[in-house]
Structure 1
Amino acid sequence: MIDDGAAPVSAPSPDPLGPAPVRAAVVGCGDVATIHFESIAAIEDAELVAVCDTDASALEQAARITGAPAYTDLGTMLREVRPDVVHITTPHNAHADPTIQALEAGVHVIQEKPLAHTLAEGERIVAAAEEAGQRGVKIGICFQNRYNVSAERAREMLDAGAIGEVTGAWASVEWARTEGYYRAKPWRGTWEGSGGGLLINQAIHTLDLIQWLLGDVVKIDGHAATRRYGHVIEVEDTAEALFTHASGVETTFFATLTSPATHPVELEIVGTGGRISIRGGLKLTRVDGTKEKWKERKATSAGRAYWGVSHELFIRDFYRRLGDPELFWISPAEAMKSLHMLKAIYHQSFGADHI
């Protein structure tokens, strides 16, 4: 089994994935499904063979855009199409059931983040993934930002001791969302539909990078609140926390959706020999004042900028590993780590009803 904390792979090359095309289906035809459609289309030796949704309007649009056969029932689609991989891009509260159904049918799964909208549902997926893995069935949770140049280089530098002993870190997610964002998809603003707000929907990628780059979080002191949109949503739009890692290092974290503009996510890791700064790209600043910079890959998709640039890299890497005996490195068990982080903040802020 690949260690959950394994270093990232470098950007996969466009080598053939196997003797036959990977046959992919997408379940859930909302906004984020579009970048999965585009990624599948861009990958050599992969084809979209079906789309599935219970929303007739979304399904019709997806079928029209992709030309793929449309299904309203997952079981029927699995039996008739027999895809190699199913992409689960449904709302948060509809992650567990289709993911588990596909795994039990022997179909590999790529599932969008978060792992689930509750810890209990997340544990269901972890258990199903462990059982499926014994049969060679893989699942990967889409934390595609681990494939960003900045994240890969940061991990390599930390592993190599490029900034000496790490002494601390801070991270900031300052984005803008309007009332219209929540009114367009009301589930985003509810505990039942989303499982939370800012933390579980937007900042979860940064939480994932924090624990992946700096190690497991063993203590959390955090707070979440609804500062602006309480008349529209029941979940948080602002949060802050102090995370203590197993090493004893602390990360200071702040996130909000009330910013007047959306800024690049910032993550800075400080060490005795320098600091690593992620803001779009990556900058290494040594204690002697010398610096090195790396630019992020340019987005080739028409998708939204905040989705990042690495969905295709994640999907391509997952497809390439389908024949490997090991489990995929971004597993449900790994995805539970960021879910536990944010749910701890919810517990401290809103009580046990929202974990």
Structure 2
Amino acid sequence: MPVLAASPSPRNHRSYFIALGLIIALAAAEILATLIHFSAKARAERAATPTTTLAPMASRSAAPPAPSALSTPVSSPIPPSSPTLSASERLLREARALNERGDTANALARLQEASQRDPKNPQVLAEMATIYESIQLFDRSNETWRKIQELGPSAGTLYELADMKLKTGVPAVTANSPEQTITDTAGTPLDNEGIPEGSNFGVTDIATEETPDPEAETNLRLKIAIKARPGVPIDHSKLRIMVLFYDLVDNEKVVPTDADVSYEWMNPKHDWIETNPETLIVTYLRSKTRAGTSEAALSAAAAAVTPGKNSPKPRKRAESNSDSLPSDPGRRKYLGYVIRIFYNDKLQTVRAEPTHLLNDAPNPSP
């Protein structure tokens, strides 16, 4: 039996293609709409980006005025003299460095500026007077020493030094002088006996001996030859010898030593009758493991070196001082010494090594 196949009519073909075209057109329109939407959103974000980045910048730029309003009450409690004092110390250090290099002109310029900032600083004035002496401007040096003298005892040992300078005077050295006048550390001229003019005692020699010691950081001795003026009666009760050692903390700060210090006369009698000069031996011992001596104890020991009385005996290394104080923080090392001899409460002579300790060293305790 024959089978008849139904063939699609031309109308059905057109409907199919029309429907397919509409679907494709709608899909394309949807895709295009999506692209337009995201493109517009991206443009809006790019347009909004400068606004969002400038907002925090504006807030940050507006922040500084708030602290500036608080800066006035914070800075007001600072004393106005603090910058002046620190500037004076800086100028004084610069002047000393320049003077050590031989540049006295610029050193004096720094000191004059420091004196204008702090006119009552005895260390600045003493440094200036010393430089004036070194270049033989004695009128100016005496004028500067007089300023220190006018400060009174508040200038400490520099007041005594200025008083001695003005009493003894500094003779001018002419250009035809065959040699420079010999003086002690304070600049006081020495006579043929090696004693400062107008004094009864002087130091004729100082020998420093350092002893190798595995248990000590520093172990040294000073042998100080002290000479009395021949033919002058000596009252032992009126003679006082001060030998003060100083350390350097962290290569910057000058402080009285906390090492063990002991005194001993080479001649037990030390009366300047059988022997003249007499030799005083002073030992500086910084042990690697020991407590330090307080500044007050050192000053008391130094003041106790009086001829005719028992001299302090060296302490054992294991002993510690009951009145010891905590040491300054930082690394200490030996710097030098200052020797002062008083007779009848009048300064006879001064020796220092290095010489700048006369100005740098703290005043000893009374």
For the aligned pair, the TM-score class normalised by the smaller chain equals under 0.3
- TM-score normalised by the chain length of structure 2: 0.25
User: Larger radius of gyration, structure 1 or 2?
Assistant: 2
